[in-house]
Structure 1
Amino acid sequence: MDQNISPGISPCPPRLPRIGDPAPAFEAESTHGVLRLEDFKGSWLVFFSHPADFTPVCTTEFLAFAAIHGELRARNCELLGLSIDSIFSHIAWVRSIEEKFGTKIEFPLVADLSRQVAELYGMIMPGESKTETSRCVFVIDPKLTVRAVIYYPLTTGRNTDEILRLVDALQVTDANSVGTPANWRPGDKVIMPPPRTQDAADERVKAEGIECVDWFFCKKSL
């Protein structure tokens, strides 16, 4: 036993990736061959985990992810799944989805039997299940930085439309140095960063083409 750890107390788990952290590097077997995180550098990535192959809620999610795969790719965003099932289970399940539901799963699926990648990304919630990965979503930017993290419980399938909206919002804010309001959709007005001086606040409320409710709360169209 580690002399620095008291009996009956488990060592602290590794810190989970947070927004703004470099995404943890990995190399793993997938349904598209061996993949590394580095392979996705230069594009956005939605990296998600699911509890287990051949389960009903996960099957509905894969059908939903397949439906937005093309839209993500049009946004220079790749899709990558993971669970701690074997590569053979992954292949059989993907083939079953195509046969039974008529949907081809064209994005890769990592087989993480060792749980190495799942542990790096904090995808296992022991209080919920010690043997399955939770429904985690990591949005990773082209510089391989974590930009958003979403967790869902095992019982609740994800809203893939929200994931697509999130990618849109991140790309718009990066390109324009703005924020997006609640329930923002592409084409809606965006939020301007609040002024940081009195002079800038005076100029902001007088500016044309900007909708201000107050000096700190202004929207504009892109």
Structure 2
Amino acid sequence: MVNLGDVFPNFEADTTVGKIKLHDWVGNSWAVLFSHPRDFTPVCTTELGRVVKLVPEFEKRNSKLIALSCDDVPSHKEWSKDVMSYAGAKGDFPYPIIDDSSRKLAVSLGMVDPDEKCPSGNPLTCRAVFVIGPDKKLKASILYPATTGRNFDEILRLIDSLQLTAVKKVATPADWKPGMPVMVVPTLSKDEAAKLFKKIETKQLPSKQEYLRTTTDY
């Protein structure tokens, strides 16, 4: 298992674009590693197809994409044709898919769904998402069961928040999107906040505590 803030394991793996070593592959980019239960299945096809369409959005955020399931490279390559067709896309498949047919990575990273099994009885990977920073540390993780497809627009929003809060003394509130007000972090004193932000609005609360401070100056 990997905890937030841990350096993500620098594993080597076979993929649809050849063998990779994760840290070298990530380089100076952000990266999203996301697993799916199995090739040639309906929800997985919709998910990877959606990501195909969103590749330009991830690229705008300097974020690389890499998928994983407990199938081998030949299966991934054949299935990717279906994914491209579903997405209405042409050309080469735009991101690598990891061969984890041994289930070694799925087990070591806590991505196994005990309720979902292949015909042989072995558990399949769940729908995990790991966001890795350029420093190779885990910035965020999300786990979905096999029965629930992910919202990749939310993952883009998550990356926007992570990238903003990595360089600014702010936090993003519920349902935040780029351009909306953000919260001044409570660890900043009133004087420190005034030096960093030109305009701060403070919400008056029954407790009289001035912790709900928002700004658009970021």
Q: TM-score, length-normalised on structure 1? A: 0.85
Q: Which residue of 1 aligns with 2:38?
A: 52
Q: Which residue of 2 aligns with 1:87?
A: 73
The answer to which of 141-150 and 67-76 deviates more is: 67-76
Q: Which residue of 2 aligns with 1:114?
A: 102
- Counterpart amino acid of 2:20? L
Measure the CA separation in 1 of the matches of 2:141 and 2:39.
22
Q: Which residue of 2 aligns with 1:21?
A: 6
Measure the CA separation in 2 of the matches of 1:100 and 1:47.
21
RMSD: 2.0
Q: Which residue of 1 aligns with 2:49?
A: 63
Measure the CA separation in 2 of the matches of 1:133 and 1:79.
17
Q: Does 1:217 align with 2:202?
A: no
Measure the CA separation in 2 of the matches of 1:78 and 1:203.
35
Measure the CA separation in 2 of the matches of 1:168 and 1:145.
17
Asked if structure 2 preserves the Cα contact closer than 8 Å seen for 1:195 and 1:201, the reply is no
Structure richer in strand, relative to its length: 2
- Structure 1 pair 202–45 and aligned structure 2 pair: CA distance change class (3 A): closer
- Extract unaligned runs of 5+ from structure 1: 1-15
Counterpart mapping for 1:69-148 below 5 A:
69-99=55-85, 101-104=87-90, 105-129=93-117, 130-148=122-140
Measure the CA separation in 2 of the matches of 1:86 and 1:112.
7
- Counterpart amino acid of 1:44? W
Aligned length: 204
Identity %: 42
- Counterpart amino acid of 1:34? K
C-alpha displacement of 1:21 = 1.0
User: After TM superposition, what 4+ stretches of structure 1 lie above 3 angstroms from structure 2?
Assistant: 127-130, 200-205
Asked if structure 1 preserves the Cα contact closer than 8 Å seen for 2:53 and 2:87, the reply is no
- Counterpart amino acid of 1:106? P
- Structure 1 pair 209–86 and aligned structure 2 pair: CA distance change class (3 A): same
